[in-house]
Amino acid sequence: MTGNNFSSKMETMDKKGYTPLEIVDKREWREDFFSLFFHSPLLTSSLRSGHFLMVRDPDAPTLLSRPFSMGRLFHDEGIFELFFQVVGKGTESMARKRVGDTLSVLGPLGNPFPLEKPGRVLLIAGGRGISPFLSALPVLAESKRDYSLLYGAKTARTLLFRPFLADFPVSYRTDDGSFGQRGLVVDGLSREVDLVFACGPEKMLERVALFYKDLPTEVYLSLEERMGCGTGICYGCARKVRTDRGVEMVRVCEEGPVFEASRVVWDE
Amino acid sequence: MSDLSFSIGPLRFPNPVVLASGTAGYGYELEPYIDLDLLGGFITKGIYPAPRAGNPSPRVYETPSGMLNAIGLQGIGMVRFRDEVLPFWERYKPPLGINVAGECPEDYARVVEYLDSHPRIDFYEINLSCPNVQTGGRSPSWFPEETKGILSTLRPLTKRPLIAKLSPHARSVEEIAFAAQEAGADGVSLINTFIGLAVDLKSRRPILHNLFGGVSGPAVKPMALAMVYKVFQRVSLPILGMGGIVSGRDLLEFIVAGASGVQIGTATIVDPQAPLRILREASELLPSLGCDSLGELRGSLKPYR
């Protein structure tokens, strides 16, 4: 924490807050995909697949922080990866950052995937939805369970992390057939699993939910919504979810971002 | 130590940093991030008699130096608020304000009547100005008679301070503030958000599902300061000033323009610890202005003519 006078200690005692973290490495992928690497043993050891982080560039012209799920965790070095695609002004300014620059980071936030649940696991990733599974795969491998990843993208060029994924059971799909099987991930779903964890475009998540609707498989989806605060105070990221009280608008940042598929209400 | 306290009627606020309604949840959401006891005050999300789902998403969007929101007063309603939220606040000291909302004067009255016996409540902020419900942004505080009508209905129902929260869209905010004073309000908060629109060029749809939203953040600060100053000239009521305060310097500028205390909103959304940073910055800056208390600074703007 910064500041050393009494009042600033009072402000932050036992409390979680934005922390300036230095970028220790940067990787530029294809098609506007980037990875930034941060050194933080505390965050690296507390982040779980499905958690998210709010990130802000104090020098950027933008005001609000942006939510990101983290990518790989390097526990020995205390380094975590932030993997993102440039989609607007916030991510644009992040992509211009260099090694040695700092960003303000708040986390871990939200509820992670319940990886500890027993049974055969299928991970489903669409496009940049691969991000949370980069930390889930090593955990599942260590637990010696029956698991696999189904990973789809538009084309081979955007099917990223393949060298890292070579150590894990992965089947690939591309829309144009340029790598793996041709077609959508939702065409490759298996009934022979007990647990499904999925992250990717909204349409993909909805089709995953529909596929397993009447099967005993437990399905968990990581949802996205435009976010204001990331901390539960603004109610900006709410969406329709079935709760004990009926269908309610529920915050993706606080009650999610991981939801049981059977609780999610799909519009239209 | 500088004196940062101020009062509204008999109610003393230990410092000028009050969290604005709708930007700080019900309070418990902020517990992991700040010591709530260090705040000058807290105002809850708008409380309606019944629970409300609010608007469909998208509800928020970043705009130049600010943000646009149309949450639509999602809320748990007064019954759950009393049962689930008020007990939480018994663990903390700062003045607690209930933001009272409604679609008609009877709604406001039901909320005040239902909650008023609870000992933890310190004041009411009457939301006469939320632009995000489906009325095209129209709000009672555009009109002196409607403002008076709602406040005079509420005045006999409680002994606690009533603070009227005003829209920046009235023809004359100072006349609305005067009407509030005449109807027995103990203070005014201003300003609520400006009505705004964001367009997605590709789809030609509004970005917010609700079409219009409320603009807040640094972009609105000059307009907010002007209105605080005008209202300070017109009425004797204490003013809670707000609009784009993100630093201690911003806070003190509102005091100079005439505010008794301020509310922090968008800055808390950006960083939950921002309110306490702003308070620290203001308390460090005050002595350098040659002042021992906020009172010395209040309304001290010196126009050229």
Residues B286-298: tens digit of each pLDDT: 999 999 999 999 9
The reported pLDDT for the residue numbered A268 is 59
B305 in a domain, yes or no? no
How many structural domains compose chain B?
A: 1
Share of chain B above pLDDT 70, in %: 97
Compute the mean pLDDT over every residue in chain A, rounded to the nearest whole number.
93
B302 in a domain, yes or no? no
The reported pLDDT for the residue numbered B13 is 98
The minimum CA-CA distance between A224 and chain B, rounded to whole Å, is 11
B304 in a domain, yes or no? no
Which residue bears the tokens 């709708």?
B22
A146 in a domain, yes or no? yes
Average pLDDT over residues A3-22: 68
Give the sheet arrangement for strand A181-182, strand by strand. Answer: A181-182, A170-174, A147-153, A121-126, A195-199, A218-222, A258-260
- What confidence category does residue B132 fall into, taking pLDDT thresholds of 50, 70 and 90? low
Q: Is A206 on the interface with B (CB under 8 A)?
A: no
- What confidence category does residue B257 fall into, taking pLDDT thresholds of 50, 70 and 90? very high
Q: Is A248 on the interface with B (CB under 8 A)?
A: yes
Contact A242, A258 (CB under 8 A): no
Does one domain contain both A154 and A98? no
- Give the end of a domain, one of A53, A80, A108: A108
Decide if pLDDT at A2 tops 50: no
Verify whether residue B291 is a known catalytic residue.
no
A1 in a domain, yes or no? no
A115 in a domain, yes or no? no
Does one domain contain both A84 and A128? no
Q: Mark yes or no for CB contact B277/A11 under 8 Å.
A: yes
Instruction: Tell how many helices (H) and how many strands (E) occur in chain A.
Output: 6, 15
B149 in a domain, yes or no? yes
The reported pLDDT for the residue numbered A3 is 34
Tens of pLDDT, residue by residue over A84-112, are 999 888 899 999 999 999 999 999 999 99
- What confidence category does residue A6 fall into, taking pLDDT thresholds of 50, 70 and 90? very low
Tens of pLDDT, residue by residue over A133-161, are 999 999 999 998 999 999 999 999 999 99
Does one domain contain both A93 and A157? no
Q: What is the CATH number of the domain that holds B11?
A: 3.20.20.70
Does one domain contain both A46 and A18? yes
Tens of pLDDT, residue by residue over B82-116, are 999 999 999 999 999 999 999 888 999 999 999 99
The reported pLDDT for the residue numbered B103 is 86
Q: What is the CATH number of the domain that holds A64?
A: 2.40.30.10
Does one domain contain both A136 and A257? yes
Does one domain contain both A27 and A149? no
ipTM comes to 0.92
- What confidence category does residue B135 fall into, taking pLDDT thresholds of 50, 70 and 90? low
The reported pLDDT for the residue numbered B104 is 85
Does one domain contain both A24 and A135? no
Q: Would residue A100 be called left, alpha or beta, if left means φ above 0 and alpha means ψ between -120 and 50 degrees?
A: left
Average pLDDT over residues A41-67: 93
B139 in a domain, yes or no? yes
Q: What are phi and psi of B79, to 5 degrees?
A: -70, -50
Domain containing B293 equals 6-297
How many structural domains compose chain A?
A: 2
Does one domain contain both A138 and A88? no
A219 in a domain, yes or no? yes
Q: How many CB pairs under 8 A join A and B?
A: 115
B303 in a domain, yes or no? no
Which chain B positions have a beta carbon within 8 Å of A227's beta carbon?
A: 60
The minimum CA-CA distance between B8 and chain A, rounded to whole Å, is 26
Q: Which among A18, A202, A235, A268 is the top mutation candidate for probing chain B, defined by the most B β-carbons within 10 Å of its own β-carbon?
A: A235
Does one domain contain both A127 and A259? yes
Does one domain contain both A137 and A198? yes
Domain containing A240 equals 121-263
B220 in a domain, yes or no? yes
Estimate the crossing angle of helix B173-182 against helix B144-154, to 10 degrees.
30
A137 in a domain, yes or no? yes
Tens of pLDDT, residue by residue over B175-216, are 999 999 999 999 999 999 999 999 999 999 999 999 999 999
